Amino acid sequence: MTATPGSSHSIGPVALDSPLIAAPLAGYSDLAFRLLCRRHGAGMVFSEMISCHGLIHRQKATFDLCRSIEAERPLALQIFGAEPESMGEAAAILAESPADVIDINMGCPVRKVVKKGAGAALMRDPALARKVIAAVVKNSPKPVTVKIRSGWNHQEKNAVEIAKIAEDEGCAAVTIHGRTWSDGFGGRVSYDDIAAVRRAIKKIPVIANGDINTPADIDTMREKTGCELMMIGRAGLGNPWIFAAKPRPTTPAALMNAALELLDLMERHAACAPGRGKNIISRFARGFAGAAKLRQEIFSARDMKSLRMSISRGGLGKKGLSSETFKE
Protein backbone atom coordinates (compact mmCIF):
# COMPACT_ATOMS: atom_id res chain seq x y z
CA MET A 1 0.00 0.00 0.00
CA THR A 2 2.62 2.50 -0.99
CA ALA A 3 1.55 5.82 -2.41
CA THR A 4 2.31 6.22 -6.09
CA PRO A 5 2.69 9.58 -7.77
CA GLY A 6 -0.73 10.80 -8.73
CA SER A 7 -2.67 8.79 -6.13
CA SER A 8 -5.00 11.34 -4.71
CA HIS A 9 -5.06 10.52 -1.01
CA SER A 10 -2.27 9.34 1.21
CA ILE A 11 -1.05 9.23 4.77
CA GLY A 12 2.73 9.34 4.56
CA PRO A 13 3.63 6.58 2.11
CA VAL A 14 0.26 4.84 2.51
CA ALA A 15 -2.11 5.29 -0.43
CA LEU A 16 -5.85 5.50 0.16
CA ASP A 17 -8.33 4.72 -2.60
CA SER A 18 -11.04 6.79 -0.91
CA PRO A 19 -10.92 9.77 1.47
CA LEU A 20 -13.51 8.23 3.82
CA ILE A 21 -11.96 6.36 6.73
CA ALA A 22 -13.65 3.99 9.18
CA ALA A 23 -13.17 5.32 12.74
CA PRO A 24 -11.94 3.31 15.69
CA LEU A 25 -14.99 2.14 17.65
CA ALA A 26 -14.24 0.11 20.78
CA GLY A 27 -16.55 -2.90 20.88
CA TYR A 28 -17.25 -2.77 17.14
CA SER A 29 -14.10 -2.29 15.02
CA ASP A 30 -13.03 -5.91 14.80
CA LEU A 31 -11.64 -7.55 11.69
CA ALA A 32 -15.08 -8.56 10.38
CA PHE A 33 -16.58 -5.08 10.72
CA ARG A 34 -13.48 -3.48 9.22
CA LEU A 35 -13.64 -5.84 6.21
CA LEU A 36 -17.28 -4.89 5.67
CA CYS A 37 -16.37 -1.19 5.74
CA ARG A 38 -13.53 -1.71 3.26
CA ARG A 39 -15.68 -3.81 0.91
CA HIS A 40 -18.25 -1.04 0.89
CA GLY A 41 -15.75 1.69 0.08
CA ALA A 42 -13.82 2.86 3.17
CA GLY A 43 -10.37 4.06 2.10
CA MET A 44 -8.77 2.90 5.34
CA VAL A 45 -9.83 1.20 8.56
CA PHE A 46 -8.86 1.70 12.21
CA SER A 47 -8.76 -0.89 14.96
CA GLU A 48 -10.33 -0.13 18.29
CA MET A 49 -7.93 1.27 20.87
CA ILE A 50 -5.36 -1.23 22.10
CA SER A 51 -3.66 -0.99 25.49
CA CYS A 52 0.09 -0.47 25.29
CA HIS A 53 0.39 -2.46 28.51
CA GLY A 54 -1.57 -5.36 27.01
CA LEU A 55 0.98 -5.44 24.19
CA ILE A 56 3.96 -5.17 26.50
CA HIS A 57 2.62 -7.98 28.70
CA ARG A 58 1.91 -10.05 25.60
CA GLN A 59 -1.73 -10.59 26.55
CA LYS A 60 -3.50 -12.88 24.11
CA ALA A 61 -6.71 -10.81 24.07
CA THR A 62 -4.66 -7.75 23.15
CA PHE A 63 -2.82 -9.52 20.36
CA ASP A 64 -6.17 -10.81 19.04
CA LEU A 65 -7.15 -7.16 18.47
CA CYS A 66 -4.16 -6.83 16.12
CA ARG A 67 -5.18 -9.69 13.82
CA SER A 68 -5.57 -8.65 10.20
CA ILE A 69 -5.77 -9.99 6.66
CA GLU A 70 -4.55 -8.36 3.48
CA ALA A 71 -8.07 -7.59 2.18
CA GLU A 72 -8.74 -4.98 4.85
CA ARG A 73 -5.62 -2.92 4.39
CA PRO A 74 -4.65 -0.15 4.73
CA LEU A 75 -5.11 -0.63 8.47
CA ALA A 76 -4.24 1.62 11.41
CA LEU A 77 -3.76 -0.03 14.79
CA GLN A 78 -4.56 2.47 17.53
CA ILE A 79 -2.70 2.34 20.83
CA PHE A 80 -3.39 4.10 24.11
CA GLY A 81 -1.34 4.78 27.22
CA ALA A 82 0.22 7.68 29.08
CA GLU A 83 3.90 6.80 29.60
CA PRO A 84 6.31 7.57 26.75
CA GLU A 85 8.46 4.48 27.45
CA SER A 86 5.51 2.08 27.40
CA MET A 87 4.01 3.66 24.30
CA GLY A 88 7.39 3.49 22.56
CA GLU A 89 7.78 -0.15 23.54
CA ALA A 90 4.28 -0.93 22.23
CA ALA A 91 5.11 0.80 18.94
CA ALA A 92 8.26 -1.31 18.61
CA ILE A 93 6.25 -4.49 19.23
CA LEU A 94 3.84 -3.46 16.47
CA ALA A 95 6.73 -3.11 14.02
CA GLU A 96 6.10 -6.78 13.17
CA SER A 97 2.31 -6.34 12.93
CA PRO A 98 0.38 -6.09 9.67
CA ALA A 99 -0.56 -2.46 10.42
CA ASP A 100 0.23 0.19 7.82
CA VAL A 101 -0.07 2.99 10.37
CA ILE A 102 0.19 3.28 14.16
CA ASP A 103 -2.30 5.74 15.66
CA ILE A 104 -2.08 7.30 19.12
CA ASN A 105 -5.35 7.76 21.01
CA MET A 106 -5.62 11.24 22.53
CA GLY A 107 -9.39 11.50 22.41
CA CYS A 108 -10.90 8.72 24.50
CA PRO A 109 -13.17 10.28 27.15
CA VAL A 110 -13.78 7.11 29.20
CA ARG A 111 -13.10 7.64 32.90
CA LYS A 112 -10.93 4.59 33.47
CA VAL A 113 -8.66 5.71 30.59
CA VAL A 114 -8.39 9.44 31.42
CA LYS A 115 -7.92 8.66 35.13
CA LYS A 116 -4.56 7.16 34.16
CA GLY A 117 -3.62 10.20 32.09
CA ALA A 118 -4.25 8.48 28.74
CA GLY A 119 -6.75 9.25 25.95
CA ALA A 120 -8.13 12.80 26.01
CA ALA A 121 -6.28 13.53 29.29
CA LEU A 122 -2.97 13.57 27.39
CA MET A 123 -4.10 16.77 25.67
CA ARG A 124 -4.04 18.52 29.07
CA ASP A 125 -0.31 17.94 29.35
CA PRO A 126 1.22 19.06 26.03
CA ALA A 127 4.79 18.37 27.21
CA LEU A 128 3.89 14.78 28.04
CA ALA A 129 1.88 14.46 24.82
CA ARG A 130 5.01 15.51 22.92
CA LYS A 131 7.11 12.88 24.71
CA VAL A 132 4.55 10.16 23.98
CA ILE A 133 4.38 11.10 20.30
CA ALA A 134 8.19 11.34 20.02
CA ALA A 135 8.65 7.92 21.65
CA VAL A 136 6.15 6.27 19.31
CA VAL A 137 7.62 7.94 16.21
CA LYS A 138 11.14 6.97 17.27
CA ASN A 139 10.22 3.31 17.81
CA SER A 140 7.88 2.80 14.89
CA PRO A 141 9.11 1.99 11.41
CA LYS A 142 5.54 2.70 10.28
CA PRO A 143 3.91 6.11 9.84
CA VAL A 144 2.42 7.43 13.09
CA THR A 145 -0.81 9.41 13.38
CA VAL A 146 -2.61 10.99 16.34
CA LYS A 147 -6.34 11.23 17.03
CA ILE A 148 -7.33 14.18 19.18
CA ARG A 149 -10.40 16.10 20.29
CA SER A 150 -10.97 19.88 20.30
CA GLY A 151 -9.52 19.97 23.80
CA TRP A 152 -10.50 19.15 27.38
CA ASN A 153 -13.41 21.57 27.72
CA HIS A 154 -14.58 24.85 26.20
CA GLN A 155 -12.10 26.81 28.33
CA GLU A 156 -9.24 24.50 27.39
CA LYS A 157 -9.36 24.07 23.64
CA ASN A 158 -5.82 23.29 22.48
CA ALA A 159 -6.29 21.08 19.44
CA VAL A 160 -4.13 23.42 17.34
CA GLU A 161 -1.26 23.24 19.85
CA ILE A 162 -1.36 19.43 20.02
CA ALA A 163 -1.72 19.07 16.25
CA LYS A 164 1.36 21.29 15.76
CA ILE A 165 3.30 19.12 18.20
CA ALA A 166 2.28 16.04 16.21
CA GLU A 167 3.40 17.71 12.97
CA ASP A 168 6.73 18.80 14.55
CA GLU A 169 7.44 15.34 15.92
CA GLY A 170 7.07 13.70 12.53
CA CYS A 171 3.51 12.37 12.51
CA ALA A 172 2.00 11.55 9.11
CA ALA A 173 -1.52 12.87 9.85
CA VAL A 174 -3.74 14.17 12.64
CA THR A 175 -7.40 13.29 13.10
CA ILE A 176 -9.56 15.74 15.00
CA HIS A 177 -12.95 14.90 16.44
CA GLY A 178 -14.47 18.36 16.84
CA ARG A 179 -15.73 17.95 20.38
CA THR A 180 -14.07 18.43 23.75
CA TRP A 181 -13.71 15.78 26.46
CA SER A 182 -16.47 17.53 28.41
CA ASP A 183 -18.81 17.30 25.41
CA GLY A 184 -18.48 13.50 25.38
CA PHE A 185 -20.53 12.58 22.33
CA GLY A 186 -23.28 15.15 22.95
CA GLY A 187 -24.18 18.37 21.17
CA ARG A 188 -22.96 19.08 17.68
CA VAL A 189 -19.42 18.75 16.30
CA SER A 190 -17.59 22.09 15.93
CA TYR A 191 -16.58 22.65 12.32
CA ASP A 192 -14.68 25.76 13.47
CA ASP A 193 -12.42 23.71 15.75
CA ILE A 194 -11.60 21.34 12.90
CA ALA A 195 -11.06 24.21 10.43
CA ALA A 196 -8.65 25.91 12.86
CA VAL A 197 -6.48 22.78 12.95
CA ARG A 198 -6.68 22.43 9.19
CA ARG A 199 -5.47 26.02 8.74
CA ALA A 200 -2.63 25.62 11.23
CA ILE A 201 -1.22 22.36 9.86
CA LYS A 202 0.56 22.79 6.59
CA LYS A 203 2.70 19.70 6.03
CA ILE A 204 0.47 16.73 6.84
CA PRO A 205 -3.17 15.81 6.21
CA VAL A 206 -5.83 16.65 8.78
CA ILE A 207 -8.62 14.10 9.02
CA ALA A 208 -11.98 15.61 10.01
CA ASN A 209 -14.24 13.62 12.31
CA GLY A 210 -17.64 14.00 13.93
CA ASP A 211 -21.32 13.77 13.03
CA ILE A 212 -20.99 12.65 9.42
CA ASN A 213 -24.27 10.78 9.12
CA THR A 214 -25.34 11.25 5.50
CA PRO A 215 -23.68 11.76 2.10
CA ALA A 216 -24.67 15.45 2.36
CA ASP A 217 -22.75 15.71 5.66
CA ILE A 218 -19.59 14.65 3.80
CA ASP A 219 -19.87 17.69 1.53
CA THR A 220 -20.70 19.96 4.46
CA MET A 221 -17.66 18.75 6.40
CA ARG A 222 -15.38 19.34 3.40
CA GLU A 223 -16.81 22.81 2.73
CA LYS A 224 -16.77 23.98 6.35
CA THR A 225 -13.35 22.64 7.32
CA GLY A 226 -11.31 22.39 4.11
CA CYS A 227 -10.39 18.78 5.00
CA GLU A 228 -10.26 16.23 2.19
CA LEU A 229 -9.85 13.20 4.44
CA MET A 230 -12.73 12.36 6.75
CA MET A 231 -13.38 9.75 9.39
CA ILE A 232 -16.81 8.22 10.03
CA GLY A 233 -17.72 6.35 13.21
CA ARG A 234 -21.23 5.74 14.46
CA ALA A 235 -22.96 6.28 11.11
CA GLY A 236 -21.09 3.30 9.68
CA LEU A 237 -22.83 0.91 12.09
CA GLY A 238 -25.62 -0.71 10.08
CA ASN A 239 -24.78 1.61 7.19
CA PRO A 240 -21.50 0.71 5.43
CA TRP A 241 -22.85 2.42 2.29
CA ILE A 242 -21.87 5.74 3.88
CA PHE A 243 -18.25 4.89 3.01
CA ALA A 244 -19.16 5.11 -0.68
CA ALA A 245 -21.07 8.34 0.01
CA LYS A 246 -24.27 6.51 -0.89
CA PRO A 247 -27.60 6.73 0.93
CA ARG A 248 -28.57 3.82 3.19
CA PRO A 249 -30.89 1.43 1.34
CA THR A 250 -34.47 1.37 2.52
CA THR A 251 -35.50 -2.16 1.59
CA PRO A 252 -35.23 -4.93 4.19
CA ALA A 253 -33.69 -7.21 1.52
CA ALA A 254 -30.75 -4.89 0.87
CA LEU A 255 -30.19 -4.28 4.57
CA MET A 256 -30.38 -7.96 5.52
CA ASN A 257 -28.07 -8.88 2.65
CA ALA A 258 -25.41 -6.67 4.22
CA ALA A 259 -26.21 -8.07 7.69
CA LEU A 260 -25.66 -11.59 6.32
CA GLU A 261 -22.44 -10.48 4.69
CA LEU A 262 -21.23 -9.23 8.07
CA LEU A 263 -22.39 -12.40 9.80
CA ASP A 264 -20.37 -14.47 7.32
CA LEU A 265 -17.32 -12.29 7.93
CA MET A 266 -17.79 -12.63 11.69
CA GLU A 267 -17.98 -16.42 11.45
CA ARG A 268 -14.97 -16.64 9.19
CA HIS A 269 -12.61 -14.09 10.66
CA ALA A 270 -13.45 -12.92 14.14
CA ALA A 271 -13.93 -14.87 17.28
CA CYS A 272 -16.21 -12.19 18.65
CA ALA A 273 -18.59 -12.83 21.55
CA PRO A 274 -22.15 -13.62 20.36
CA GLY A 275 -23.57 -10.67 22.34
CA ARG A 276 -21.26 -8.24 20.65
CA GLY A 277 -22.06 -9.69 17.22
CA LYS A 278 -25.80 -9.35 17.81
CA ASN A 279 -25.40 -5.68 18.68
CA ILE A 280 -23.62 -4.92 15.42
CA ILE A 281 -26.01 -7.04 13.35
CA SER A 282 -29.06 -5.40 14.97
CA ARG A 283 -27.94 -2.04 13.57
CA PHE A 284 -29.15 -3.23 10.15
CA ALA A 285 -32.64 -3.88 11.51
CA ARG A 286 -33.68 -0.26 11.54
CA GLY A 287 -35.77 1.97 9.33
CA PHE A 288 -38.41 -0.39 7.95
CA ALA A 289 -41.74 -1.87 9.05
CA GLY A 290 -41.16 -4.82 11.36
CA ALA A 291 -37.58 -3.75 12.24
CA ALA A 292 -38.29 -3.54 16.00
CA LYS A 293 -39.63 -7.11 16.04
CA LEU A 294 -36.65 -8.29 14.03
CA ARG A 295 -34.26 -6.65 16.51
CA GLN A 296 -35.97 -8.55 19.33
CA GLU A 297 -35.50 -11.79 17.39
CA ILE A 298 -31.84 -10.99 16.77
CA PHE A 299 -31.18 -10.35 20.46
CA SER A 300 -32.96 -13.50 21.56
CA ALA A 301 -31.26 -15.78 19.00
CA ARG A 302 -29.64 -18.69 20.86
CA ASP A 303 -26.91 -19.41 18.36
CA MET A 304 -25.45 -18.35 15.02
CA LYS A 305 -27.84 -20.65 13.12
CA SER A 306 -30.99 -19.08 14.53
CA LEU A 307 -29.45 -15.62 14.17
CA ARG A 308 -28.85 -16.34 10.50
CA MET A 309 -32.43 -17.61 10.07
CA SER A 310 -33.89 -14.49 11.67
CA ILE A 311 -31.88 -12.24 9.39
CA SER A 312 -32.77 -14.25 6.30
CA ARG A 313 -36.48 -14.18 7.14
CA GLY A 314 -36.25 -10.49 8.02
CA GLY A 315 -34.96 -9.81 4.52
CA LEU A 316 -37.20 -11.90 2.32
CA GLY A 317 -39.98 -13.54 4.27
CA LYS A 318 -39.91 -17.35 4.66
CA LYS A 319 -37.78 -17.99 1.57
CA GLY A 320 -34.83 -16.14 3.01
CA LEU A 321 -31.48 -15.10 1.57
CA SER A 322 -28.52 -17.32 0.86
CA SER A 323 -25.12 -16.67 2.33
CA GLU A 324 -23.56 -18.46 -0.68
CA THR A 325 -23.58 -15.06 -2.38
CA PHE A 326 -20.85 -13.85 -0.05
CA LYS A 327 -18.26 -16.56 -0.37
CA GLU A 328 -14.83 -15.08 -1.08
List residues binding ligand FMN (CB under 6 A). 23-27, 48-49, 78, 105, 107-108, 147, 177, 185, 209-212, 232-235
* Cβ-contact 103, 91 below 8 angstroms: no
- CB 210 to ligand FMN: min, Å: 5
Cβ 293 to ligand FMN shortest distance, Å = 25
Q: Is 68 left (phi over 0), alpha (psi -120 to 50) or beta?
A: beta
How far apart CA 197 and CA 164 sit, in angstroms, is 8
Query: Least distance to ligand FMN from the beta carbon of 187, Å?
Result: 11
Amino acid at the residue 278: K
Taking the complex as a whole, the smallest distance from the CB of residue 25 to ligand FMN amounts, in Å, to 4
Contacts of 250 (CB under 8 A, 6+ apart): 287, 288
Separation of first and last alpha carbons in the chain: 21
Instruction: With H, G, I as helix, E, B as strand and everything else as coil, classify residue 39.
Output: helix
Report the residue number, 236 or 252, with the smaller CB distance to ligand FMN: 236
Q: Which residue's CB is nearer to ligand FMN, number 122 or number 311?
A: 122
**In the complex, minimum distance from the CB of residue 169 to ligand FMN, in angstroms, rounded to a whole number:** 19
Nearer CB in complex with ligand FMN: 107/240: 107
Q: Which member of 108, 171, 227, 272 is catalytic?
A: 108
Clarify whether 227 is annotated catalytic.
Answer: no
Q: How far apart are CA 137 and CA 53, in angstroms?
A: 18
Select 15 or 20, whichever has its Cβ closest to ligand FMN. 20
Query: 293 Cβ partners below 8 Å, 6+ apart?
Result: none
Helices (H) and strands (E) in the chain, counts: 13, 10
Nearer to ligand FMN, 124 or 268 (CB): 124
How many Å apart are CA 85 and CA 40, to the nearest integer?
38
CB-nearer residue toward ligand FMN: 111 or 302: 111
Least Cβ distance, residue 278 to ligand FMN (angstroms)? 15
Helix (H) or strand (E) holding 148: strand 144-151
CA distance 145 to 133: 9
Contact 99, 142 (CB under 8 A): yes
Q: Are strands 144-151 and 173-180 parallel, antiparallel or unpaired?
A: parallel
What is the DSSP code string of 123-140?
GG-HHHHHHHHHHHHHH-
Q: Which residue is nearest to ligand FMN (CB)?
A: 233
The catalytic residue positions are 108
